Amino acid sequence: MRTFKLQVQTSIDGYMAGPNGEMDWLTCPWSDDLNAYVDALTEPVDTIVLGRRLAEGFIPAWAAGPEGEDQASVDWMNRTPKVVFSRTLAESPWENVVVAADLAETVNALKAQPGGDLIAYGGGSLVADLLAQGMLDELHLFVNPTAIGAGMPVFPAHDAYHRMRLVASRPFECGITALHLVPRRA
């Protein structure tokens, strides 16, 4: 079965965005050691999973070739097939993207297919749903050395704890620390 990973940047107080979706607190330019870590993390990935709101900015930004990104990363982001979860889109406005509505059915079908790993890059609603339904096999939290006080939490409050096992932690030259976690299943 394929491994389903989450990669998300977070503040030290656990937010992936500010109260209005602000990302201006992400000020650490990635260092070469962090880029190498991400390359190793994504090397076995052959499908990207996104929520619609994130996809609306993410896909066009990578298609335009973001400034400062190496061409290999831009090419990988653009050529890797994507699944976008949406309750409002009936079909994809983007190339190389499938739109899906039923999270559990789609993720279970993807995980059962042969192929490489799956990676989700966030979006608050998507991450909350993936965590609540226990669909993630690995979490890769890139903790930025900034506290923002409020915003969109990586782990929104709900009725159950999210028990994790720390597989590894690694600080990088730029100040970001990667936490590799796996959910503890009941």
Sorted by where each begins, the domain ranges of the chain are: 4-183
The pLDDT, as a whole number, for residue 70 is 84
* DSSP letters spanning 20-56: TS--TT---PPPHHHHHHHHHHHTTEEEEEEEHHHHH
pLDDT in tens, 18-75: 999 888 999 778 899 999 999 999 999 999 999 898 888 889 888 898 888 888 888 9
pLDDT of residue 43: 95
What is the per-residue pLDDT for 174?
94
CA–CA gap between residue 116 and residue 47 (Å, rounded): 8
pLDDT value at position 33? 96
pLDDT surpasses 80 at 11: yes
The per-residue pLDDT of the chain, averaged, comes to 91
- The per-residue pLDDT for 159 is 67
State the pLDDT at residue 39.
93
Whether the pLDDT of residue 186 is over 70: the answer is: no
Predicted confidence (pLDDT) per residue in 89-127, tens digit: 888 888 899 999 999 999 999 999 999 999 999 788 899
Pick the CATH number of 4-183 from 3.40.250.10, 3.40.430.10, 3.40.50.2300, 3.30.428.10: 3.40.430.10
112: left (phi over 0), alpha (psi -120 to 50) or beta: alpha
CB atoms within 10 A of CB 46: 13
**What is the model's pLDDT at position 68?**
80
* DSSP string over 138-174: EEEEEEES---SSSEESS---SS---EEEEEEEE-TT
The whole-number pLDDT of residue 117 equals: 97
pLDDT in tens, 137-178: 999 999 999 999 999 999 887 767 888 999 999 999 999 999
